[in-house]
Chain A
């Protein structure tokens, strides 16, 4: 089919187009709002699947927007890593969107619903754009689309939201704005040093520029790393994250934890491997620094999570810890470690998506989310909490669940890199994960509720089905890890490890 050659751009255009239709539909054909949103994202997901087959069959796709040849025009470049990320973003994003169609009826202020869907679609369009683009400035534009949508999504619940929602959103906004500014400065420096913005061209020219303008290139790298560490909530720049999640509607937290911070971590990987070159990054000493920061993130995120009473905050600090795995895997300089880090992007999206959506379903039914309120919830919402528990066990890393596979690869990676301290960090973190996730499971399934007897009171089907699909994903994606691995192993080898 001739249209399939345009999928690299249409995958971004479909949600973007639908996002602008949302306010119009809401004004004149209200019934069409949600179906259009779901259709657009379904199309995106199918296009991502198709591109995965295209890329596996005939290698990376390069698409020239407006028929301008790179490096002058904007190039969209879909390689193994991009298409893997695009699949994660559109796939998990689609499930979260389906969940939101029902969730929004009760939990979002009526006047904001159209904007809510428009912003979710813009966020996903931005993230998809970031993973498929081959142009550094284009990446910044999509970064801003995604970021601005996320800031606005935090207080979107309006009068049905929490009290501190504007403060949380504002804190997220100025942290994010600093990060965006850093990124823009970094792009400026890179452009000053090389005179190009196309990623492939930049990578070639940076080799010379490193000799000619060593400070400029170093500054560019530094600004990039700080900017995207802030965006991906890498410890100690994670301060915006727990507040934003605690005040945002559940689907928004799920999108942010499952997709946004993962895509930001992807950009760090892309910068290190495809643009600056991992050998150069390693020679600056930055790599070992980031390894230590990631290890600290893993441990301290878990420690914070243990101290929390609000279930959403437990999950938020757990995300801070899990992003450490991704970054640690990407910086270990071992192919197994890198594979583990990349696998963890998918696995954590599935696990954390399940858990946040399940907590959202509990809030939908009861309006509560303190750990004490989860007593006996397993009897009240058996399927939701079943999926939650599977995901929680998977997070701890119990075989054969999903979390085990990525942690296994990461452990192999630390052994291969002979960084035994990090082996210890990963094992210790699994124990810490067990402390807070098993405590949750204990509350959910083995404690009696305060009210005495409970009736089964499940979440609505539209919300339950995405939760259950993701929960089953936490079992089967781990058991069939060879399917994502076909893409990941090619991505790892194409990035030179």
Chain B
């Protein structure tokens, strides 16, 4: 308890100061809401980082969940080697936020990387994806989406829980595969979808490692990958403005909490719990 609470309270305090990490604590001055005021009214990099992060989350999270669900549906049947395929699709997310993976990704999407060689086979000339401000963020999104293994495994477990009788009954009633998916699979799976959505949204907003590696800790090329957490790191460590960085962290915490609350409140309208009365 103390291990979490004390640093958190200290950081909340510091967010109202001009703390710079290096000076003695005696030099720390209370500056009231100045950090917060600067953030919202004067700091262009703050709003830019918010835009980058929201764009990233809005695109990467739904696509990642869609990919996870799609592959889970394909792998939710018995055929030879299904275990192997499940393992292979899960593998990328085991590597998680690893630095090594991000480095490999950057090299793959260079101008002379593997991806462009592949495009070359079809006579397409690729762009210098990671080194071009127009595509750098998209490259990071692709990396995030590719790591759909974790939600996929959870979807698979959820799919196994859906009673076979429901599908049998549906098909007796003349429902085709699409109809079955819409009327049986989706509602029955909705608690799992909801769980994955909340987790992945939070994950998406917190993306740091890949952006850090791709841009060497700068958010470049020209701020195109300046994720919120990366901006926070730059303010704290490169510019040594720890007080300001603490303020950024608290705003971030509140924003994520709000987003989670919003997700939960929409959940009432589309999440069906099997043991609830709305079955």
Q: Do A and B come from one complex?
A: no
Interface residues of A (CB under 8 A from B): none
